[in-house]
């Protein structure tokens, strides 16, 4: 999973560098190289892959169960999907707006023999039905989270777990917060449980 909403909005270079504060120089170089591949006219954020340890913590916090459906918003290299399928025996759907990245992750998934449990959708997440999700994972920016909040509120079923890496969903109260470390940098993970419909 990476820091990208897969939505049609730009992000400034200054914003990218702000995101890198506190991350070691060698890791920054990797993130900037990834970011150069992004078309910022179609994205809310640069392509930044979540460290595997953070992915593990996110899925643990969501208490993913076998055969539950995990949706990853901006699925990138597919590591959330693969971890959900391999470690938690869940089913997973990734939504990825960049076709080349989506196809690369599909090849990786096929090489692991996981195509029966994982599907990657090449699309803007705004056009995808999220209602089958038991768990939604995302690594977006605060503004991105606010933009997609109405869609989450309208389409997700009560009890669906939403896990956000680093950025809160404005106006929502987290059911749980956890701190984790990767690249010698602290990360905050927020767990939200969708309430009953009003």
Q: What is the pLDDT of residue 157?
A: 97
Q: What is the pLDDT of residue 57?
A: 97
The closest of 82, 93, 96 to 4, measured between CA atoms, is 96
Structure tokens at 163: 């896990």
Residues with pLDDT less than 50, the chain: 4-41
Q: What is the pLDDT of residue 32?
A: 41
Question: Where exactly are the structural domains of the chain?
Answer: 48-193
Q: What is the pLDDT of residue 198?
A: 77
Q: What is the pLDDT of residue 109?
A: 98
Alpha helix segments (H runs only) across the chain = 13-19, 25-36, 52-61, 79-88, 99-111, 142-155
The neighbour count for residue 109, using CB atoms within 10 Å, is 22
Q: What is the pLDDT of residue 172?
A: 97
Q: What is the pLDDT of residue 43?
A: 57
Q: What is the pLDDT of residue 130?
A: 97
Backbone angles phi, psi at 183, to 5 degrees: 55, 35
Class of the CATH-defined domain 48-193: alpha beta
């Amino acid at each position: 999973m990476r820091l990208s909403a897969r939505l049609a909005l730009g992000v400034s270079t200054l914003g990218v560098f702000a995101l890198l504060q506190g991350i070691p120089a060698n890791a920054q170089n990797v993130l900037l190289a990834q970011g150069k591949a992004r078309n910022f006219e179609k994205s809310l954020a640069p392509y930044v892959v979540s460290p595997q340890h953070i992915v593990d913590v996110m899925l643990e916090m969501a208490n993913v169960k076998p055969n539950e459906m995990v949706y990853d918003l901006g699925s990138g290299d597919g590591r959330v999907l693969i971890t959900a399928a391999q470690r938690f025996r869940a089913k997973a759907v990734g939504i990825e707006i960049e076709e080349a990245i989506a196809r690369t992750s599909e090849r990786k998934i096929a090489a692991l023999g996981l195509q029966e449990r994982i599907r990657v959708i090449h699309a803007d997440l705004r056009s995808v039905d999220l209602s089958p999700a038991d768990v939604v994972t995302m690594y977006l920016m605060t503004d991105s989270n606010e933009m997609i909040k109405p869609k989450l509120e309208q389409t997700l079923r009560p009890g669906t777990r939403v896990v956000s890496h680093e950025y809160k969903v404005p106006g929502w109260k987290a059911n749980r917060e956890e701190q984790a470390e990767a690249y010698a940098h602290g990360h905050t993970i927020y767990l939200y449980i969708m309430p009953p419909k009003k």
